[in-house]
Amino acid sequence: MIPTSVVFTGAFLMAVARFGSLNALEQDKRNPFWRRRLGAGLPSADTVGRVFAQLDQAGLRRLLHGLYDRLKRNKALDGTVLILDGHETTASYLRCCPGCLERKMQDGRIQYYHRVVLAMLVGGCLPFLLDMEPQQKGEDEVACALRLLGRVLQDFPRAFDLVVADGLYLGAPFVRFVLRHGKDAVIVLKDERRDLLQDARGIFRLEPPTVEIEGSIVRRMWDVDGLTSWTAMDVPIRVVRSLETRTVLRQRTKTPETTTSDWIWATTLSSKKASTRTVIDYGHDRWLIENKGFREMGTFWHADHIYRHDAGAITAFLLTLMVALNLFRAFVQLNIKPVLRERHTQLYFAQRLTAELLVGPTIPP
Ligand SMILES: [Zn+2]
């Protein structure tokens, strides 16, 4: 009785207008805008949730792909770095569904949660959310990420040359998989790879760093190639370290304050392909998925809100949100004049968009 297209368009506009919940959307049911846009009344929150639980997810991914192709054709996408990162979408002691993951907490209680891995393309003027994959029961994040990476490699074989990920991903199966597909990896090096880290640290102690000053940041860089201490890997690994000291003047006390961060990455990139500084920049790109990925999706686009507690619905809503966010970012980047864009935050444009969508133009053209 209600076409899927009406339900999808309603939910898509809910995402674009950042309503936050199906119930908030329902409050706006009487707005004549909906009948005008959808050609039918706005479906109930329950109907939207029920339809999304059964929605064709491959179709949603094709929608993302279509958007990617269009932006690529228009030369608007020039990033070649793929960032993979896991994120928890919900956690609860009370509510669970058949797709929930479970973990035992310190107090003995069972917590239910959902987790997804997101694939995002960065490195150019426009970040693009390519795909996501929900973590299944009994598998870890890396297994889920490998499934996602397999699909992304199949669907977007030439979209990227490099995979950047957190320390969790620095295992031989993951790095080998990336190499086998002709790509390179830059992965945070943590204590879990003790043999490699100890070996690299030994060399860092002996070699003087290259020092670079960039504004208020002093960067001491080390670059060690051809390490073979990670015995599970059959290729030598390169390790790059950046010890960064940032000095800022405290506004209130007018005293300088210094913060230091120590970054170490393992990479398969040769020094011919990427300089020390380039590897460091790639490594720092990972923070983009925090800022431009889930943090922004959670803070401004309500990605952390579960529209319906059902594994299928969670995936379908997230994919829909990814379409909305990609489209919104492309609009801000490509359709708004730089002078105007620089004067406002992304949130300002998102709010204007919501207002104009529901009310009409808010200022004379
Ligand atoms: Zn669940």
pLDDT in tens, the chain (365 residues): 899 999 999 888 888 887 777 677 777 778 887 888 888 888 888 888 899 999 999 999 999 999 999 999 999 998 889 999 898 888 888 888 888 999 999 999 999 999 999 999 988 888 899 999 999 999 999 999 999 999 999 999 999 999 999 999 999 999 999 999 999 999 999 877 788 899 999 999 999 999 999 888 999 999 999 998 888 888 889 999 999 999 888 777 788 888 999 999 999 999 999 999 999 999 988 776 666 666 677 766 666 666 678 999 999 999 999 999 999 989 988 998 988 888 888 888 888 888 877 776 655 54
Residue 184 near residue 161 (C-beta atoms within 8 A): yes
For residue 356, give both structure tokens.
Answer: 């104009």
CA of 361 to the centre of ligand 1 (A): 40
Handedness of CA 272, 276, 280, 283 (dihedral sign): positive
Integer Cα distance of 36 and 333 in angstroms: 28
Integer Cα distance of 31 and 141 in angstroms: 43
Please state the pTM of the whole predicted model: 0.89
For residue 23, give both structure tokens.
Answer: 């119930």
Integer Cα distance of 259 and 94 in angstroms: 41
CA of 211 to the centre of ligand 1 (A): 50
CA of 89 to the centre of ligand 1 (A): 10
CA of 95 to the centre of ligand 1 (A): 7
- DSSP, collapsed to helix, strand or coil, labels residue 304 as coil
CA of 16 to the centre of ligand 1 (A): 25
pLDDT given for residue 35 in this prediction: 84
CA of 304 to the centre of ligand 1 (A): 13
- DSSP, collapsed to helix, strand or coil, labels residue 202 as helix
CA of 93 to the centre of ligand 1 (A): 11
Residue 144 near residue 134 (C-beta atoms within 8 A): yes
CA of 184 to the centre of ligand 1 (A): 35
Residue range 183-230, pLDDT digits in tens: 999 999 987 778 889 999 999 999 999 999 988 899 999 999 999 888
Residue range 72-113, pLDDT digits in tens: 999 999 888 999 989 888 888 888 888 899 999 999 999 999
CA of 296 to the centre of ligand 1 (A): 23
Contacts of 32 (CB under 8 A, 6+ apart): none
Domain with CATH 3.90.350.10 in the chain: 55-306
Integer Cα distance of 106 and 14 in angstroms: 38
Q: Which CATH class is domain 55-306?
A: alpha beta
